[in-house]
Structure 1
Amino acid sequence: MPDRPEIVCICGSTRFVEEMLAANRDLTFAGVIVVAPGVFTHAAGREWSETITTEQKAALDALHLRKIDLADRVLVVNPGGYVGESTSREIAYAHATGKPVSFTYPEKP
């Protein structure tokens, strides 16, 4: 048995907040430590959706890369196969650092 539970970093567009919360819940019940976005800027229609500055966006993007550094693997939440610019950058970073990447929706061939 490992010394600690597996750590998974959830990536994906913050517009998929419900799907991210479901993945987080499922992983947590499976005994996984989950790191995920903490600010949801694209959660349209939600009272807790946030508007942030360009500087805050850059800081959050950099912080999420550090979350990937902490993780054993990355799970991309991508309903319908959607992967935006920020998520593409995170996937490239995960690959560059040797982290396995999986998707909730099958990858395109």
Structure 2
Amino acid sequence: MPDRPEIVCLCGSIRFADELDAANRALTLEGVIVVAPSVPPRTDAHGDGPITEEQRETLSALHLRKIDLADRVLVVNPGGYLGESTSREIAYARETGKPVSFSDDRRAE
């Protein structure tokens, strides 16, 4: 293992939580440090209800900082799907010089 493992930031729609978890697991087992989007439940397990718009904006900004930490970005996009937030994250990653790859090459860019 190198002195510092590669850091990969996962991006993708939270509708693909299972696929994001699978990619996280596979990369982690390969010795990669994975940073991934927070996948907030619709309702908090503690009964706090859905997240607010302000919290959603905070999570979005935080995810861009995760991209900053990464060596590269892997977009988890089953069926080639890219939503608005994911497209914004891809643009940000490219603007900052991060290599971007896709789990499904049928991306709609």
Counterpart check, 1:66 vs 2:65: yes
> 5+ unaligned residues in a row in structure 2: which ranges?
none
Matched residue type, 1:96: E
Residue of structure 2 in register with 1:21 after alignment: 21
2: distance between equivalents of 1:63 and 1:106? 26
TM-score w.r.t. structure 2 length? 0.87
Residue of structure 2 in register with 1:53 after alignment: 52
Matched residue type, 1:97: T
Q: Is the 8 A contact 2:17 2:39 kept in 1?
A: no
> 5+ unaligned residues in a row in structure 1: which ranges?
none
2: distance between equivalents of 1:14 and 1:91? 15
2: distance between equivalents of 1:105 and 1:23? 12
Query: Could you report, residue by residue, the CA deviation over 1:14-64 in whole angstroms, capped at 9, with x for unpaired residues?
Result: 01011000000000000000000123357xxx986x721110011000000
TM-score w.r.t. structure 1 length? 0.87
Runs (4+) off by over 4 Å: none
**Could you say what the CA RMSD is over the residues aligned between the two structures, in angstroms?**
2.0
Q: CA shift at 1:108, angstroms?
A: 4.2
